[in-house]
Amino acid sequence: MSSAREEILQRIRTANANAGVTSTSSQRADSATTQRDSSSGSAGAQATSPDADGSRAAADATPAAGSPDLVDLFVERTEDYKAVVERASAAGAGARVAAALEGANGVLLPAGLPEAVVGAVDASMAREDPGTPDGLDAIEAVVTTCAAAIAETGTIVLDHTAGQGRRALTLVPDLHVCLVRADQVHADVPAAVSALRASVEAGHPLTWISGPSATSDIELDRVEGVHGPRRLHVIVTTD
């Protein structure tokens, strides 16, 4: 079996072990792999069997969410996507948000944002959710928190609970300013999925954001803002 396939299966096992669930599909894949390897006389059949001790060891080897190395990697990967990334203390986040919004014609501030952030934004810029596509299209910026972030891919995940608003609010305005707490930064996708389990079980929609919206036309010219915000400004807060 290819090393790439084995790595994917191991990541699935590790994520399931972290979440405390058993994946039926993962068991079927392991069973099929073991049978195929046994029929061909492969000595590596046992290596594909789930190993509880191995899963725990892999989980223990995953850096803890919010560790400095993970935050550094998240910043680097997010900047690779041409997003603006800043670091700030929790107390200084409001001032950074206000600076990022300078000149914006209308800003959405979903319920549940930190009070210090809301208080730092010029009240004349704040707008209520218009509730219509045309009304939303006239608003230039939105400020949200997030549910999780992924260091390995530079991805931010929203579950649209408090501080994040409904999904359309983060897809239509041209500028998205997102607050990410350092302790929300996870090592990789399996670790983030485990952290998001409660949101999934509650039926919350998830929006995965890797940099500003961008695509390429037939001549491979990069075009930004086609499927979502053209500008992403991330503020990582640490204490």
Q: Which domain holds residue 99?
A: 68-238
44/150 same-domain check: no
Spell out a b/e string for 72-103, using b for 16 or more CB atoms within 10 Å of the CB, else e: ebbbebbeebebebbbbeeeebbebbbebbee
35/131 same-domain check: no
Provide the 8-state DSSP code for 123.
Answer: T
pLDDT in tens, 17-75: 776 655 454 455 455 555 555 554 444 444 444 455 555 555 557 789 999 999 999 99
Q: Tell me, what CATH number does 226's domain have?
A: 3.40.50.10420
Of 12, 36, 61, which closes a domain? 61
Number of domains in the chain: 2
50/123 same-domain check: no
**In which residue are the tokens 């041409």 written?**
82
Provide the 8-state DSSP code for 64.
Answer: P
Please give the pLDDT value at position 228: 66
Give the C-alpha separation, 86 to 124, whole Å: 25
pLDDT in tens, 165-183: 999 999 999 999 999 999 9
* Neighbouring residues of 217: CB distance < 8 A, sequence distance ≥ 6: 223
pLDDT > 70: percent of the chain: 75
Q: CB of 171 within 8 A of CB of 192?
A: no
Q: Based on the number of CB atoms within 10 Å of its own CB, is 187 exposed (0-12), middle (13-18) or buried (19 or more)?
A: buried
230/119 same-domain check: yes
pTM of the model: 0.72
